[in-house]
A = this chain, B = another copy of it.
Amino acid sequence: MDEQQLHQIGAVADRVGLSLRTIRHYEEVGLVIPSGRSAGGFRLYTDADVDRLAQVKAMKPLGFSLEETSTILALRRAVAEGTAASDQRARLESFASRAEEQCSRLSRQLDEVRRLTVQLREQVDRAERSVARSG
């Protein structure tokens, strides 16, 4: 039962909801490296790799660069394992603060964008009704 379930990039892309190119790009920049390759050179992802991709995808709205995202994941790992130095903990706490600020910003943006979208829908509906009357 210690068989590693390995996944090809296409299956991973479908499951996580990222493009093949994006997944390959994440490897290019060292963000998510597949744990293995087939004899023919196909990328092979473990479930842990897939989880990491999903985490990266989920973090995207926070607006960190891919390099910062990579750093955050490394810092979290170090802190989780208890091997983080105090400056590493300080850096992670700084990222946490930035994440919180970004959440507030996103929340405000969502409010505004909802307002705009309702306005737009109302304008469209008014126009339709206006045409219906004069048609």
Which A residues contact B (CB, under 8 angstroms)?
55, 58-59, 61-62, 72, 76, 79-80, 82, 84, 86, 89, 92-93, 95-96, 99-100, 102-103, 106-107, 109-110, 112-114, 116-117, 120-121, 123-124, 127-128, 130-131
Q: Once the chains bind, are A113 and B124 in contact (CB under 8 Å)?
A: no
Q: A79-B127, A107-B110 are in contact. Are A117 and B89 (CB under 8 A)?
A: no
Number of copies: 2
Is chain A's interface secondary structure helix, strand, loop, or mixed overall?
helix
Can you show 12 pairs from A to B with CB atoms below 8 A apart? Answer: A58-B112, A59-B116, A61-B112, A62-B117, A79-B127, A89-B124, A92-B124, A92-B127, A95-B120, A103-B110, A103-B114, A103-B117
